[in-house]
Structure 1
């Protein structure tokens, strides 16, 4: 096969000369299936890009034959940039994109084959929730019991499993026909029936609006490839090399998509000759990932996709990358020790040539508030005394609810910080309003966005007008826009309503004509929409100081459109809307190379893929981290341990771990025992500045020293921590309330959940139900069933109120917070806090 002449020729040594032996082997491997087990910080992006360059320069492949899939736009942009430096501008001819972006390109080209017009709208979460609310109003079911968010989570779970609405209806509500009116969903007693009906109606209305949600991008592409063999054949011939990053984060639908694009199940055998994948047989697949960093099961990610790769591809080669280029050996030893407690994982031990580095610094605070103040004091010291930039420090936590006390501590210490996870730019109301106008211009059938802008800004078209238009649209069998355009045919409509409706219709028609004339200049269209709609004028006239920042946000939207024009040769309004729709949370994270002058606060799930010189892992308590849900579920606990592994390996130079002896949840104080993950880190790796909190010291027999050690403000004074008075004299008790998040107490009630399954290619994938039972309030400090750890030994039989008969397999004496591990047979192995467990020894 002749090499593309536009590809910069690179001698082999230039591509592998600076790699370690395992990296070089992965780059050069010639075969149909390769799994690169890339440990944290092991240089996987470098290996992936070098392998692509190797395929092009040494295998003789053409750029158009390569499909490289990442999970974020930021990762795709980084990969394209690196490839351009390796092989030149020809890199732009490759498909290097996210799953969703690749699917959009496929559906724009061939989606009409399955009834999806090329101008389809991509609904974001807010649009989808609005659609569910409209369905709820029509079907009259309780949105407090069945919230739009929980219903969408269930629908997403179905789609991740490639379970269609038709299948759900056939099983639970065979008498329902999508689109029918007057169906009494309120009579349904089984929640699965309600989910099936809403799922079917939701898909029906998406189709009517020529719209898709994010999950549909994957699902509809799989549908297209399966329903249209000629389309599938086109992509089989086009993509001869498929490379997938972060493979451990793929769900079942993405797993099937890769197999369909590669033609794995289409028969034939890959040509193993000198021309690589050749012209026949399945594409050659390279996947890169780390099963120890699989932390997105709640989003549908299936760790078995990477664990079973060698079974799915019998001729697969596995190469492990274990040399770490990020962290010190002390940090890696801690991560290795924690993750080693997970069973069934492929052995891997990270190591570095960078040296041992500093010990991990640990601290036990009395309360969450005092934990936050100690962290703030340490950050202040690192910045002032050691010259560490604030932007080189990150504070990470298990759940968003923990950020409140941390923010208070940083504010008191006057430490600048940025909280990752607030309202995103494209989710802001005024930006959503402007984008809704643009979406309605491109796709008039989009009822959700058309209804959103009907009275934004206010033009005298309230709920009654919207209802009249909706009813008329149903009567004529058209879209909401059809109802607006023919408003003069609506019986009983007053001139007071009709006149603004007709003005709105005329304005939208003129904006649509303007957009068609200026399609290559989205920034001009944005400017015209902001001006003609009145959005900008309303905000400029407002006396609300907040509205000035909203004006700036709209200005920023126009700047984003202008930037898109400059960077996109074939720019269109639809293309601009597509880029805004496909922006992920992780794409909006700050650039690590820039000095923001602020400490970064974020959840551990958000932190994946990032790195910082200094990292604080907070809330290291049973019930907080690991989360309360994992206390009695071994699979959940394994994922929590992987999350701990991810958190530890975010640190490059110095890791801090902290915990609180008492944490307030649901308005009550809960006594927290130390996280088992702390026990799993070898003691010689940790420098404890304070190992026991006040009450724990007293229980340990240190009461005689209490008058000497206990500070006047209710906290223990340490050499490295001043009492709260040093932060402005505020007093912090152990009680606070959190507006959102999960329960972190030591006792919780769990529902068994509903799990769905889907068979594929000889394997069955079981999914976690996205709708979980709410955790109950945390236990109080006084909760105790008076069981003693010394009365339990390995082999003892116990009965549990929920799990039945079990056998004790481990007992850990931790005083009042002692834990026993019990094997309940079919109910699994559970870790139980002895003093609150509803058990009886036989």
Structure 2
């Protein structure tokens, strides 16, 4: 067979000579199914690209016979670039793409077999929500009770599991027919029936609009391959080698797609060679439908499969890897794997315990400034990672106050901005006039006197005649009782769209020309230029950027079309916003841990390392969710190349309340010798320990504590408490005239003063001062008498601060910050108040029976001695397996 002239043929030595033995074995393996268990930083992209080059150079395959699938456009572009360097320009013609891009190509070519015209639209999240709102209005669904986002989440679950709408409708609401008018859901409380009906109607309207959503790209491709044997045979004959990156992130639909393309279950027995690369320890997308069993069960799913583990890490220091290995080792049922490196031990991990989120953020900002000034670390080499988007607020404030440049990844994406969505909607409507969602979006954008009434008239005619919304506008003269002014405006809109469609149909006009024409003729640009709103100036810049993006697409794409440009905009992911490797953005990067997957930075700050924050509160009583959180911690740790920081806050504001947070169990799982604690305990924790143990000599206010105990080296009553002079993050919170913590209020950022006395008095508030913006007033001092004392002299009674009268926040992980009172103050405490129940883990053994206030009878299946934070795992039968923090759990041993 004659080789492709654009292919550079490489010798085996060229391809494997510089690889380690497991990498070389993986590149050269010959067999129908191979799993490469690639640990973090083990060079999986290098192995994958070398394997493709080996198959072409040494296996005699044609480039057209290879399908390489990744999860992001960025990963696909990197792989294509590496392949180009290895095998030449032929790489640009190969199928190296994301799952969704590959499916778009298949559906554009062959989708007619399942009723999809090649010019179909791809709806993004905003389009989908708009469609669900239209359906909800027609079916009289309460969108406050059943939000469009919740409905779409359920529909996405159905699609990821390949559950057909016809089956769901037959099971839940057999009397409903998609497209029928005047239907009212009989029992709106029957959520499953409601979801099934909306799912059916949603798919019906997508089909009518010749549109698909993101999940459909996978599901409808599977449908196509199963429905049309000729199409299936074509792709099975075409793709003889299928390679899938990040296999641990595949959902059920993607798993089935790979099997269908490979012909695993085809009767002719002709199966493609499958290579999957992944790491079960980095499976962190269960919330998106990813199924870890796909990679765990690979050897059972694909007969005669071979597994090769890559354990040598080329990214991180051994200290960082030791921490990651120690944490992930606590997950059960995983393939044994221990990362190691030849890069040396490296610096210890740096730990810091802050009093609150503001002080945590301010300390991080100070450390970033120090690293940049003293060690010359580029801002772009540093990243701050957190479990939830909400944590970014205090971090952003601290960076702004410190004058440090940063970029936030995962915020409002460029293509989700209103003005960009409007422009894209025009382009979608030009390409696909049956696209009702986008056509209705632009009907009155910019405002042209076509409001809700005009839209309702057109929509009613379209529905009555089973035609698209724009089809009704084209038949405007046949619609009765249209006010003259409305009719004139509709004719104007019809003429506008006809002119734009004609302009776009001219082959001489490129996508950037069409974008310019739309912005000009629609009036979008003029409206914003005339506006006096300063925000509209930046929106004009965004529209200009859209035209630039279209021009760039033309330069990089031979025979660029408008439909092709729209396809690229529809398939952009959050991670595609990030600078390329080696590109200096000049900014610190802030992102969630889920977004950070696949990235690496010389310096990483892992923040919010507290029970209830990370691991997330949802995971505290669910073993499988906790295992996923631990994998997320493993991902976070292994993003760091040289320096890793772990930080936590003793108090964090949640839902308007200041909650006391316990250290994350993941910190316990990292060997203590690996962490250099700059501050092991927060000031409030030391204060509480002092109250519980007594303050010692009357002449020593702090019971012998040194200046460093509050992180700033100063005292109460006239001088700084905490470290405001070091961190200076903004508004100050004053304790008796002194600054406390990071200079920002406890929990919420509002200014509050702690200068007045906090006394006693049978549990009634000693002062009206508040912690944070929403927590109730709390008394400090003893509960049943004793003199009222002020911060600035003495503390009142040593009975202290901490747990007695706090109310539970619903999980075992956090406590509201309230004082502990003695005596009569406990009489009115809320039921379920959190307090140390005095139980000792040594008194519990596997097999012991217990009773829980909520879950009932259970059997102990595991105990973990972590000192004060000991945990027991209990099987409660029908209530499931729960992990309980022993000292807080409302349990009794039987």
TM-score using structure 2 length = 0.86
Aligned with residue 794 of structure 1, among 841, 845, 862:
845
Say if 1:196 and 1:776 are closer, same or farther in 2 by CA, change over 3 A.
Answer: farther
Question: C-alpha separation between the residues in 1 aligned to 2:160 and 2:407?
Answer: 33
Kindly state the Cα deviation for residue 435 of structure 1 after the two structures are TM-superposed.
Answer: 0.6
Q: Deviations over 1:328-370 (max 9, x none)?
A: 0000000000000000000000000000000000011111111
CA RMSD of aligned residues (A): 2.4
Alpha-carbon shift at residue 491 of structure 1 (Å): 1.8
Larger Rg: 2
Render the CA deviation track for 1:3-56: whole Å, top value 9, x for unaligned: 334311211111111111111110000000000000000000000000000000
Which of 488, 499, 521 is residue 488 of structure 2 equivalent to? 499
Instruction: Tell me which of 872, 876, 883 is aligned to 1:824.
Output: 876
Deviation at 1:567, TM superposition (A): 1.2
Asked if 2 retains the 8 angstrom alpha-carbon contact of 1:247 and 1:306, the reply is yes
Q: Which moved more, 1:728-737 or 1:143-152?
A: 728-737
8 Å CA contact retained: 2:612, 2:620: yes
Q: Aligned residue for 2:675?
A: 686
Matches within 5 A, 1:799-814: 799-808=851-860, 809-810=862-863, 812=865, 814=867
* 2:615 match: 626
**Within-5 A mapping of 1:529-544:** 529-544=518-533
Aligned partner of 2:223 in structure 1 is 223
Alignment of 1:717-732 (within 5 A): 723=725, 726-727=728-729, 730=732, 731-732=743-744
Structure 1 residues 687 and 718: CA distance shift in structure 2, 3 A: farther
Q: Could you tell me which residue of structure 2 aligns to residue 138 of structure 1?
A: 138
Per the alignment, residue 338 of structure 1 pairs with 327
Equivalence for 2:18: 18
CA distance in 1, matches of 2:636, 2:25: 29
Taking a change above 3 Å as real, the CA distance of residues 106 and 807 of structure 1, as seen in their structure-2 partners, is same
- Secondary structure of residue in 2 paired with 1:704: coil
Three-state SS of the structure 2 residue aligned to 1:664 is strand
Question: Following the alignment from structure 2 to structure 1, what is the Cα–Cα distance between the partners of residues 715 and 291?
Answer: 49
Residue 660 of structure 1 is matched in structure 2 by 649
Distance, in Å, in 2 between the alignment partners of 1:139 and 1:508 is 30
How many corresponding residue pairs?
A: 801
Unaligned runs of 5+ in 2: 696-701, 733-742, 751-771, 773-805, 820-832
Deviation at residue 590 of structure 1 after TM alignment? 2.3
CA contact (8 A) 1:293 1:646 kept: yes
Equivalent residues in 2 for 1:214-293, closer than 5 Å: 214-269=214-269, 281-293=270-282
Is 1:736 aligned to 2:748, yes or no?
yes
- 1:181–1:659 distance in 2 versus 1, CA, 3 Å: same
**What TM-score, normalized by structure 1, do the two folds share?**
0.92
| Contact 1:698–1:706 (CA under 8 A) maintained in structure 2 | no
Partner of 2:596: 607
* 3-state SS, counterpart of residue 265 of structure 2: helix
Q: 1:2 to 1:720 in 2, by over 3 A?
A: farther
Q: Which residue of 2 aligns with 1:62?
A: 62
Whether 1:396 aligns to 2:385 is: yes
Structure 1 position 707, deviation (Å) = 7.7
What's the CA shift for 1:2? Answer: 4.5
Aligned to 2:173: 173
The alpha-carbon deviation at position 181 of structure 1 amounts to 1.1
Following superposition, the deviation at residue 100 of structure 1 comes to: 0.4
2:370 matches 1:381? yes
The answer on 1:677 being equivalent to 2:730 is: no
- Determine if contact 1:628/1:747 at 8 Å carries over to the other structure: no
Seen in structure 2, the aligned counterparts of structure 1 residues 786 and 319 have a Cα distance that, compared at 3 Å, is closer
Describe the SS at the equivalent of 2:353. Answer: strand
Q: After superposition, what is the alpha-carbon deviation per residue over 1:158-212, rounded to whole angstroms, capped at 9, x for unaligned?
A: 0000001111111110100000111112633311010000000000000000000
Deviation string, structure 1 residues 389-431 (Cα, Å, up to 9, x no partner)? 1111101000001111111121222222111111111111111
Inter-partner Cα distance in structure 2 for 1:678 and 1:781: 25
Relative to structure 2, which stretch is displaced further, 566-575 or 450-459? 566-575
Paired residue secondary structure (2:242): strand
In the alignment, the residues of structure 2 paired with residue 776 and residue 180 of structure 1 have an alpha-carbon distance, to the nearest angstrom, of 49
Q: Which residue of 2 aligns with 1:77?
A: 77
Q: Residue 806 of structure 1 contacts residue 824 of structure 1 at CA under 8 Å; is this kept in 2?
A: yes
Match of 1:559 in 2: 548
| CA distance in structure 2 between the partners assigned to 1:714 and 1:46 by the alignment | 58
1:526 aligns with 2:515: yes
- 3-state SS in 2 of match to 1:530: helix
CA offsets 1:294-328 (integer angstroms, 9 cap, x no match): 00000000000000000001201100000000000
Aligned equivalents of 1:776 and 1:580: distance in 2? 42
Aligned pairs (5 A) from 1:341-356 = 341-356=330-345
* Distance across 2 between alignment mates of 1:482 and 1:781: 65
Q: Equivalents in 1 of 2:669, 2:191: separation in Å?
A: 41
